[in-house]
Each structure stands twice: as C-alpha cells, then as structure tokens.
Amino acid sequence: MNKNQRHYFILEQLQKQERVWVTELASCLEVTPETIRRDLAELEMNEKVSRVHGGAVAFSSGEKEMVYARKLSLHLEEKKQIARIAAGMIQDGDTIGVDVGTTTVHIADMLEDVHSLTIVTNSLSAANRFNLAIEEGRITAEVIMLPGVTNPYQLSVKGMYTVELLRRFNLNKSFLSCGGLTHEAVFDFDIEESLVSEMMMKRSREAVLLTDSSKLNKKSLFEIAPISNLSYIICDQEKPVDWQQNRYEWISVDPSSRKDGNHEGRLPYPS
C-alpha cells in the first residue's frame, strides 16, 4: 500500500472500532511501526485522528490540543503585535518567566537594547529564540531552562521537577499563554503545563496574559487560575462589554499596529 491507501485503511478501521494500535497496524499493513507513527502524525495534523499512547482514536477537537507547529501559524500577525506590547514591558535587570505558547514565543523577537535579563522558561522554542536574541546582540541575558519531561508536540518541558524548581524563583513578571479565557478564569489543555503556568504566576510580582481573541469566552480542560490573579491581559480585541471590572488592566491591540507598531491602550513600561 502507498501512503494514501494506508491512511484510508486507518480511517476505515476507526469507523469500525474505537481505537487503532501502532503495532497491529504495522503488522497488518506489513510496514514498520515508525511508518505507522508518521502516518498517524500526518493524519493528526489534518484533524483526522487524535493520537493516544500506542495508537490513535477518531479526531475530537475538544479533547486534544493542536500540535505546536500548527498553532504557531494561526492568528500570526495578531500574536506578533500582542508580543510586541509585552516586550515593551520588559526592563533592564528584570527576571521574567515565559511559559509555553505560540504568542509568548514571539516576545524574544521583539526585544531590542534590553540588558541584564534573566529568563526562566519551560518552552524549548522560547529558549531558542531568546538565545538567538543574545547571539544577535539585541539583548544581554541569561536563559534558565527549567528541567522536566519533554512534550515533543508542544516543544515544552513539564512535570514535578519543573514545578519544584520554579517554586524557588522570584520573578518580576511572568508572560503567560492560555487555551481559553472567561470572565472568571484562565484555562489550558494540559494539566501539567497548567501547573507550571500557575506556579509561574504565583512566583511573579506581575502576571501578564497574552491571548488572541479566538480564546475569549472559551474553556479548555484545566483551570490555571482565577482571572483576578492577573495583572494585565493583552489581546487583539477590546474587553468584552459583559465582563465585570477586575483588578487586572486590559490592553487591546489596535489593528493599525500591524503596519506601524502603534497600539491602543496604555503601555505600562517604557519600550
């Protein structure tokens, strides 16, 4: 069978049964398990299946977070402008936390002429971009990569070791992502990554949430924290009119900022 025929066979099997297994598919189709894993990865990218340990189940948009590479391309311009505002909050000498997200990852790209930073992160992608900013001379900084178990689908580390070491830091600011946001709370897809974000928030003087408008009024699987724990929310949309006042400040991105870098809302720190 060629690749398309294998994909058709896998989807056909999922119509007959709840789950398919890598080893059984490999034996039945007379290919290697690595070939089946690549097939399942491609089918997941196309939202045909959701991978689980040892195999796959039928795709369900509400049960599994998209892989990092796919999320990175969604709402890209909005994410970059949100990250630009967040970067303007960072001052010389700050110790900052940056969690795993496809908006927070752009912060490093927006930094210029900022010195003596300490960056604490569980995002492999963010760590790489901050290292590039150091290499290019745009910032002087030290990047501390938190320990833990890797999540190859989100380019992150997570787990008990991640949370325990993070507990020892005192951060000036944390820059956080989310899977959903309501007027009551901040949510994420992964329980272990949500615990890292929660601890990062607790260990920071100020917690800054970066979110595009697609996350508003949506709940994903796990609650990170009440929304009242945030200091700032940066979004590409105005605060929903039916959301009650709270202690955080809402900063909205002006659509014109996609061209000239200006934004709507007060920038709390000099850029």
Boundary (domain end) residue, out of 11, 42, 63? 63
Binned at pLDDT 50, 70 and 90, residue 255 comes out as: low
Boundary (domain end) residue, out of 63, 92, 108? 63
Paired residues of 187 in beta bridges: 180, 223
**Amino acid at position 247, single letter:** R
> HSE (CB half, 13 Å, CA atoms) of 94?
22
User: Are 231 and 148 in the same domain?
Assistant: yes
Binned at pLDDT 50, 70 and 90, residue 69 comes out as: low
Please indicate, yes or no, if residue 198 is contained in any of the structural domains. Answer: yes
Report whether pLDDT(98) > 60: yes
**Quick one: which of 80, 246, 124, 105 has its CA closest to 176?**
105
Between 41 and 84, name the one with better pLDDT. Answer: 84
User: Are 51 and 127 in the same domain?
Assistant: no
User: Are 127 and 253 in the same domain?
Assistant: yes
Report whether pLDDT(66) > 80: no
Binned at pLDDT 50, 70 and 90, residue 147 comes out as: very high
Please indicate, yes or no, if residue 158 is contained in any of the structural domains. Answer: yes
What CATH number did the domain enclosing 40 receive? 1.10.10.10
DSSP string computed for the chain: --HHHHHHHHHHHHHHSSEEEHHHHHHHHTS-HHHHHHHHHHHHHTTSEEEETTEEEE--TTTSPPPHHHHHTTTHHHHHHHHHHHHTT--TT-EEEE-S-TTGGGHHHH--SEEEEEEEESBHHHHHHHHHHHHTTSEEEEEEEPPSEEETTTTEEESHHHHHHHTT--EEEEEE--SEE-SSEEEES-HHHHHHHHHHHHTEEEEEEE--GGGBT---SEEEEEGGG-SEEEESSPPPTTSPP-SSEEEE--TTHHHH---SS--SS--
User: Are 51 and 75 in the same domain?
Assistant: no
pLDDT of residue 9: 95
Boundary (domain end) residue, out of 32, 63, 94? 63
Q: Which tens digit of pLDDT belongs to each residue from 181-214?
A: 999 999 998 889 999 999 999 999 999 999 999 8
Report whether pLDDT(266) > 50: no
- Specify the number of domains making up the chain: 2
User: Are 225 and 151 in the same domain?
Assistant: yes
How buried is 226 (Cβ within 10 angstroms: 0-12 exposed, 13-18 middle, 19+ buried)? exposed
pLDDT of residue 124: 95
- Mean pLDDT, rounded, for 27-48: 90
pLDDT of residue 65: 53
Report whether pLDDT(149) > 90: yes
User: Are 110 and 219 in the same domain?
Assistant: yes
Domain range for 140 is 71-260
Residue 185 burial (CB count, 10 A): 16
Q: What is the pTM of this model?
A: 0.71
Q: Rg of the Cα trace of the chain?
A: 20
User: Are 55 and 78 in the same domain?
Assistant: no
Please indicate, yes or no, if residue 159 is contained in any of the structural domains. Answer: yes
pLDDT above 90: percentage of residues in the chain: 70
pLDDT above 70: percentage of residues in the chain: 89
Please indicate, yes or no, if residue 206 is contained in any of the structural domains. Answer: yes
Q: Which tens digit of pLDDT belongs to each residue from 72-81?
A: 667 789 999 9
Buried b (16+ CB within 10 A) or exposed e, 119-148: bbbbbbbbbebbeebbeeebbebebebbeb
Please indicate, yes or no, if residue 267 is contained in any of the structural domains. Answer: no
Please indicate, yes or no, if residue 163 is contained in any of the structural domains. Answer: yes
Please indicate, yes or no, if residue 101 is contained in any of the structural domains. Answer: yes
Report whether pLDDT(49) > 90: no
Binned at pLDDT 50, 70 and 90, residue 68 comes out as: low
pLDDT of residue 270: 38
Please indicate, yes or no, if residue 270 is contained in any of the structural domains. Answer: no
User: Are 94 and 46 in the same domain?
Assistant: no
User: Are 16 and 107 in the same domain?
Assistant: no
Binned at pLDDT 50, 70 and 90, residue 51 comes out as: confident
Report whether pLDDT(252) > 90: yes
User: Are 98 and 207 in the same domain?
Assistant: yes
Terminal CA-to-CA distance of the chain, rounded, Å?
A: 57
What CATH number did the domain enclosing 109 receive? 3.40.50.1360
Between 234 and 189, name the one with better pLDDT. Answer: 234
- Mean pLDDT, rounded, for 154-168: 94
User: Are 158 and 57 in the same domain?
Assistant: no
pLDDT of residue 260: 38
User: Are 45 and 132 in the same domain?
Assistant: no
